[in-house]
Structure 1
Amino acid sequence: MTSRAPAAPSTRQRIVEQADRLFYERGFENTAFADIAGALGISRGNFYYHFKTKDEILAAVIAHRRVQTQAMLDAWAQAAHTPADRLQCFAQMMVDNREAIQRFGCPVGTLCAELAKLDHPAQADAGMVFGQFRQWLRVQFVALGRSHDADTLAMHLLARSQGIASLANAFRDETFIHREVAQLTAWILAIADGGPGLGAAAR
């Protein structure tokens, strides 16, 4: 039996993926329909067949990011055998994406910040990607026996990651990313060994 080649992405999916990239690299407000259509080499008519407004594209991009985030979280859960290992996958994400983070910051954080400045109604939807991370991290801390402060620890880890991404973007300092992620890894392992919690992560 011969295996089938994966189906090529639809035009709509290609538009969403290209818009996702451009929103991240240029910002939502600074990306026009023409930029997305031009990057794909499609006509404006073909573009408008799938999306009539920029807000429709934004909603599709946010939905795409939520699907991609969930797929990543599921992959970490399958690949890592312990909650501490899964938490380290989250921290390692900043090292794995260090080049993009230094150039553009965190894709979730930058979009949420931009939409907040615009007072855009999609701000809450964009922030739900953070909600996915928060819930997943909380589950891992509960599995480590920290049910009493799992959400606090999850939010702290999210906050640290955002701070790292923001400063790495500001200073374009790869060494900083590696050092901070190493400290987060040590903190996670200390938590897994019964450590006290937030104090070690602040050092």
Structure 2
Amino acid sequence: MAEQSKPAPRGKRERLTQAAVDLAHRQGYRNTTLAHLAEAADVPLGNIYYYFKSKDDIGRAILDQRMGEIAQMQAALAELPTPLERLLGFVEATINNAPLVAERGCPLGSLSAEMAREDGDWTGPAKGLLGGPMAWMEKQFGQMGREEDAADLALQLQSSLQGASILAHSLGDPALLVREGRRLQKWLGALAADSPG
């Protein structure tokens, strides 16, 4: 087999999916048309139907992509040795996204809220966009020795991050999310110091 000197171009379905993810974050899933998608992915409009039979199929592809991104982040954080470091890393990733969140909103929170208002068969799984990370946080708190209040702590962490994301987006100020993220990192450190074991 001959060596390829340059990487193969991304497939049309992958380009369409990535364009759909980007458009849904920039202008909302509901406001994204097939024509927008065709233009953004540089694919003829008629070809979209070969890959996606309906807009609901596009919604499922967007959801699958975002859920895959969550899984990748959790896999990367799993390499860190302690639950505290993993939680701190999660918050740091949110802080690093502050400029994008201030401009367009939280990619997961915005999509989750919008999909909750839709009627597609993916609206139930869309709850995993925020619920999945919150369950992961609960597991980390449990591993820190906080089994009894792990669910409450996960709720507090997710609520604080999402609330700060909404404020940063609404006010166009990424510093708000950074400030809350740094406060949460100190809070996590104090919790770990007070945790049994």
Q: Normalising by the residue count of structure 1, what TM-score does the alignment of the two structures yield? A: 0.88
Shift of 1:120: 4.8
In 2 relative to 1, CA 154–4 (structure 1 residues): closer, same or farther, beyond 3 Å?
farther
Shift of 1:149: 1.2
Specify the alignment match of 2:92 in structure 1.
92
Aligned residues: 194
After superposition, the CA RMSD in angstroms is: 1.9
Amino acid aligned to 2:66: R
Amino acid aligned to 1:16: T
- The alignment status of 1:30 with 2:31, answered yes or no, reads yes
Matches within 5 A, 1:17-166: 17-78=18-79, 80-118=80-118, 120-166=120-166
CA contact (8 A) 1:19 1:36 kept: yes
Specify the alignment match of 2:187 in structure 1.
187
Amino acid aligned to 1:124: G
Partner-residue secondary structure (3-state), 1:148:
helix
Amino acid aligned to 2:64: A
Q: Distance in 1 between matches of 2:99 and 2:175?
A: 12
Amino acid aligned to 2:73: M
Which moved further from structure 2: 31-40 or 8-17? 8-17
After superposition, give the CA deviation of every residue in 1:85-134 in whole Å (9 maximum; x if it has no partner): 11011111222111110011111111222233345543222111222202
Shift of 1:65: 1.0
Q: Distance in 1 between matches of 2:146 and 2:4?
A: 46
After superposition, give the CA deviation of every residue in 1:3-62 in whole Å (9 maximum; x if it has no partner): 986543221111111100100110011100000101121112221111111110101110
CA contact (8 A) 2:105 2:166 kept: yes
Residue segments in structure 1 that go unaligned for 5+ positions in a row: 197-203
Matches within 5 A, 1:167-186: 167-186=167-186
Amino acid aligned to 1:14: R
CA contact (8 A) 1:18 1:39 kept: yes
Percent identity for Structure 1 against Structure 2: 34
Amino acid aligned to 2:9: A
In 2 relative to 1, CA 112–3 (structure 1 residues): closer, same or farther, beyond 3 Å?
same
Q: Normalising by the residue count of structure 2, what TM-score does the alignment of the two structures yield? A: 0.91
Residue segments in structure 2 that go unaligned for 5+ positions in a row: none
